[in-house]
Amino acid sequence: MNSAKILIVDDETIMRESLAGWLERDGHQVQSAPSGEAALKKCAQTRFDILLVDIKMEGMSGLEVLRRIKEADPEVAVVMITAYGSIATAIEAMKNGAFDYMLKPFDPHELGVLVEKIIRHQEQARENLYLKEQFKERTRFESMIGQSEPMQKIFSLICDVAPTDATVLILGETGTGKGLAAKAIHSNSPRRDGPYVVVNCGAIPEHLMESELFGHQRGAFTDAKETKKGRLELAHGGTLFLDEIGEIGVRMQIDLLRVLEDRVFYRVGGTQPIEADFRVLAATNRRLEQLIREGKFREDLYYRLNVVSFDMPSLKQRKEDIPLLAEHFLRRYAQETHRSIDKISRDAIDEMMLYDWPGNVRELENAIERAVVVGKERQIMPEDLPILCHEPAAAPRRNTLEEVERAHIHQILTENQWNIARTARILGIDRSTLYNKIKRYQIQKDA
């Protein structure tokens, strides 16, 4: 059983002391308050998992404490302590959101069982919330594939770094599998049974980022109808993956740095510090050193994230993996779409090996998905692949990679009448990345 943070609220010193002593021996972190007023003050400073509140107290009653606590944080479990004479009040408390009530004096076994039940209940609630979030994101996890030397080096690095709790910065071009590498680190780490929470920093608008990461209290802003847990809180006990960290705004960088240093944060509109135990993994396709020079990325945050870092190789750097990857995607999409395509023709493989794959593995995956859908034969033919129409030879020579990328994106956008979804699919990147690139390269529609 995990330990809980427990607050005992009772105006009788002897009751507080004997209960605190008992719970401390069970390994719980226990504090006590002699009145409802003192309890509310403590709750404003610390977030407790369980409150044990005596119903009859001088000053603020136990029922009033329950009401005020539940208003501020509905997830705290409040157990009412009562004497035989006031069972009716205890039942009223249950109707008002108390988790349970206990008659004084308690049977020691029942107390232990109740505390254990609450902890389990809270763990399950946290896990359910996490699973719901995960389902919403529909994040697809799969094993990483590659027999090439660069990928073997990556596997070895992941094996070395996974068992530690070190922060890892994963670098690499779009579509190289940075997310898969992060997931592999989590899956091979001691935190594997904990949650794996992904934050796509490039996809969340800056004004929503704070609430998304830190959560918010009810009433913190106009739309905050309910108290909501942020991704940091959901990642408790597991791993937090900050994808596209280079896209995060400077203000949020300051907040994030503070969390990474102190491991404590506040919900938006909240006053209770929330402790968070999670490992941080981050990824970016941007050159962070360049962003630091431009004053767009904080150097202190960079050093905090860059404890261990590695580069995911581009598909161009590991062309020998193309047939293996293509086979893997073919099997998956043929199965998903119930098409009886089970082979890739020799000519199609050759075409794939000649192509440079600027969108990397994701572009290859999309190309195979398309080929499975449009293919007429039992095997994928060169003409089924969408790569023949935009060969790299068309790009002007002696230009920088960024200029080539800009020109390429512009061309595909124009060819597709600025249909963002279609263009992103062809480029093998997601829509948020495409938006970011349009913004960064200041690409505009032709007049």
Partner 1 sequence: MPCRDLAEELTAAVAGAVQKIFGFATAFGPLLTDLAFAFDAAREQYHSTPILKRLAEDAPEWALKIIALVEVDLFIPILTHVYGEAQLGGKACIVSSYRLNDESWRHNAREKFLQRMIKEAIHELGHTFNLRHCRDHRCIMHYCRSEADVDLKSEELCRYCRILLLDEIKKLTAW
Applying CB under 8 A, the residues found at the interface with partner 1 are 1, 12, 14-15, 17-19, 21-22, 24-27, 104-109, 111-113
Q: What is the rounded CA–CA span in Å between residue 134 and residue 140?
A: 10
* 3-class DSSP state of 246: helix
Shortest Cβ 128–partner 1 spacing (Å): 23
CB of residue 4 vs partner 1: minimum separation in angstroms? Answer: 13
* Cβ-proximal residues to 357 (8 Å cutoff; 6+ apart), any chain: 314, 315, 316, 322, 363, 364, 428
Cβ proximity to partner 1: between 25 and 225 the closer is 25
Which of 208, 211, 204, 210 minimizes the C-alpha distance to 244?
204
Cβ closest to partner 1, residue 27 vs residue 219: 27
State how far the Cα of 390 lies from the Cα of 52, in Å rounded to an integer.
68
Tell me how far the alpha carbon of residue 13 is from its chain's centroid. 44
Q: Which CB atom, from 101 or from 302, has the smaller least distance to partner 1?
A: 101
The helix-helix angle for 13-25 and 108-137 (nearest 10°) equals 60
The nearest distance, CB 1 to partner 1, in angstroms, is 6
CB of 52 to partner 1, least distance (A): 9
Buried/exposed 176-204: b ≥16 CB within 10 Å, e otherwise: bbbbbbbbbbbeebebeebbbbbbbbbeb
User: Shortest Cβ distance from residue 39 to partner 1 (Å)?
Assistant: 17
DSSP state of 313: P
CA 127 – CA 213 distance, rounded (Å): 17
Query: Which of 49, 233 has the CB closer to partner 1?
Result: 49
Report, in Å, the least distance between residue 400 CB and partner 1: 57
Cβ distance to partner 1 smaller for residue 18 or 337: 18
Minimum distance, C-beta of residue 79 to partner 1, in the bound complex (Å): 12
Closest CA to 317 of 362, 361, 382, 363: 361
Comparison of 109 and 138: residue with beta carbon closer to partner 1: 109
| Surface-to-core class of residue 338, CB atoms within 10 Å of its CB (0-12 exposed, 13-18 middle, 19+ buried) | exposed
Nearer to partner 1 by Cβ, of 14 and 393: the residue is: 14
